[in-house]
Amino acid sequence: MSTRRSWLALALAQATVLWLPRSAWSQLRWPENPFQAGVASGSPGTDSVVLWTRLVQTQPEHAAALRSAGVQTVHWELAEDTQFRQILRRGQALADPALAHAVHVEVGGLEPDRWYHYRFLAGAAVSPVGRTRTLPGPQAAVARWRMAYASCQKWEDGFFSAWRHLLDEDVDAVLFLGDYLYEYPGTGSRVRQPSGGWVLTLDDYRRRYAQYKSDPDLQAAHQACPWILGWDDHEVQNDYAGVHPGYSGTRDPALPGDFAQRRSAAYQAWYEHMPLRASTLARAAGGVSVRVHDRLLIGRLASLHLLDGRQFRDAPVCTRDGLPGSSTVRPEQCPAWMDTRRSMLGEAQERWLEQSLATADTRDRVWSLVGQQTVFGQRDFRPGPGQVLTNDGWDGYAAARSRLTDALQRHQAPNPVFLGGDVHANWVGQVKADYARPDSAAVGVEFCGTSITSRGGGNAQTAQRLAENPHFLFADAQEHGYGVAEFTPTQLRTRLRVVDDVTQRDTRIRTLAAFEVLPGRAAVTRTA
């Protein structure tokens, strides 16, 4: 589509239920299974959910035929049972090449707090059956909500075997916090290779997503339950910040002048490949913009604020040699470090969060969940006097972090729990009101999760860093997996689930550590 307005109109039309006559169905015959990217659901509401798939042909001649065939129509069905004997909703939707033949169906009129099954049909081809659910009603008494949180799945660093084990966790939803894919070219990995070179254009991002989506374990995790989706930097480029390019090493051929176009292409591809509502798209003078931040209410049990810490953040300051991207910094040597105008979330998102925290809907819950990209608490990497902090995470935006914790206290948000990712390590501890004062009160707790596969730094310095940052009680930078957080009115129980070896497809999983948090106490207790 040639204009931003027509692109948005296409997305909205695609998400609308279309009741077309049988004659309007595409008659394209599929030489390959068109549902090789699997199915997914997400953006759950109390009475609605988004169903997703993408039509794919992998052989060059078949892919060319699909492109030349143009818009396809896809039939979808939603039922109470896996055999589809009791179909509750059905319809047709557009799969347009302008959006990579992706399908986003927004199904409304559903019952709250209920599991459903869904599938897609294209001609004689039938997709796998997915399982999804709606959120409880805002005033419902919820006895239990179990949610997995995860991030950072680098193709070449290992197999996505952790996702297969997720099927046994009986979770209500997955909270994915970023780095769904990586933009790097092929490496010398002996596990598996990413497709193509550097990911720079819309077609590049589409091909890389297609490769990631082909993983059977990742597909199975999407089929199991709805996903609540955030993002981080590698969906675009390592360490990018808002409109400012990042830095992936001297081999990255992307120049700063090309970054706006690259970011716009990456944002469109992310929308195309995730179960998102068309309303997440927004007009932007510089190209495609996607609204990621959102609030979900899980009955009277919890509120979940999902934050976007990438799209609107200010550039990091005091980077090494003036290069874009991240660096470790000694704050006393960086005059701009405490500039109170700098933001991780941007002024509009900060204002939205403040207003949301002030509402009775948020305050009248047992738990206040905050899903965001990275470690929230301060991590000093220098033992003894003085500090060395990274400028890419919340440490590089200390004033913005203080505004967030101040807002939690000012509006008496009940029992804040921060969930994060990004750093390829598990960090568990308390969130402090003021990290400049060791005796500062704790205002919440934090569970920052490790990676699905992406390599961490190892544990050689973990004990030293825990000693330097006593507001954390546990850290591990060696293992890979996900976290499972189970919320009830009387406690939060969290298990850190890790696989034995990400380089093996059939690796086993185990619990690395387990923790408990009780309402009314901003403290974490290790239970295993």
Instruction: Look up the CATH number of the domain holding residue 127.
Output: 2.60.40.380
Higher-confidence position of 402 and 29: 402
Cβ atoms of residues 224 and 170 within 8 Å: no
Angle, helices 347-357 vs 398-410, to 10°: value is 20
Q: pLDDT grade, residue 13 (50/70/90)?
A: low
> Does the structure show a pLDDT above 50 at 136?
yes
Q: How confident is the model at residue 8 (pLDDT cuts 50, 70, 90)?
A: low
Same domain, residue pair 180 and 117 = no
pLDDT of residue 282: 72
Contact 263, 236 (CB under 8 A): yes
Same domain membership, residue 472 and residue 329: yes
Asked whether the beta carbons of 528 and 514 are under 8 A apart, the reply is: yes
pLDDT given at position 495: 98
pLDDT score for 284:
66
The percent of residues in the chain predicted with pLDDT above 90, rounded, is 84
141 and 47 assigned to the same domain: no
Residues 18 and 160 in one domain: no
Q: Are residues 88 and 148 in the same domain?
A: no
Whether the predicted pLDDT of 18 surpasses 60: no
Confidence band for 133, pLDDT divided at 50, 70 and 90: very high
26 confidence band (pLDDT: 50, 70, 90):
low
Contact 313, 245 (CB under 8 A): no
Same domain (yes/no): 288, 400: yes
Tell me which of 83, 116, 134 is where a domain ends: 134
Instruction: Report how far apart, in Å, the C-alpha atoms of 55 and of each of 74, 126, 286, 326 are.
Output: 9, 11, 29, 38
Q: Whose CA is closest to 497, among 446, 456, 445, 451?
A: 451
What's the pLDDT score for residue 19? Answer: 43
What are the residues whose beta carbons fall under 8 Å from the beta carbon of 113, sequence distance 6 or more? Answer: 46, 133, 134, 135, 136, 137, 140, 142, 299
pLDDT at 160: 98
The answer on 279 and 268 residing in a single domain is yes
Average pLDDT for residues 115-121, to the nearest whole number?
98
pLDDT value at residue 186: 81
Instruction: Count the domains in the chain.
Output: 2
Q: Which of 134, 169, 203 is the last residue in one of the domains?
A: 134
Same domain? 65 vs 122: yes
Residue 22: per-residue pLDDT: 44
Asked if residue 369 lies in contact with residue 304, where contact means CB atoms within 8 angstroms, the answer is yes
How confident is the model at residue 258, as a pLDDT?
Answer: 85
Please name the residues in contact with 132: beta carbons below 8 A apart, sequence gap of 6 or more. Answer: 41, 44, 49, 51, 115, 116, 117, 118, 225, 226
Domain of 59, in residue numbers: 1-134
- Regarding whether 106 and 143 lie in a shared domain, the answer is no
pLDDT of residue 321: 82
Same domain, 95 and 149: no
Of 91, 116, 134, the one marking the end of a domain is: 134
Q: Same domain for 277 and 424?
A: yes
414-447: per-residue pLDDT in tens?
999 999 999 999 999 999 999 988 889 999 999 9
Determine the longest span between alpha carbons in the chain, in angstroms. 75
Q: For residues 371 and 304, what is the distance between their CA atoms, to the nearest angstrom?
A: 7
Do 70 and 153 belong together in one domain?
no
Two tokens at 499?
A: 């696989």
Q: What is the pTM of this model?
A: 0.95
d(CA 315, CA 344): 9
pLDDT at 10 over 80: no
> 159 vs 156, 212, 216, 282, 477, CA distance in Å?
8, 11, 10, 35, 18
Q: Are 352 and 293 in contact (CB under 8 A)?
A: yes
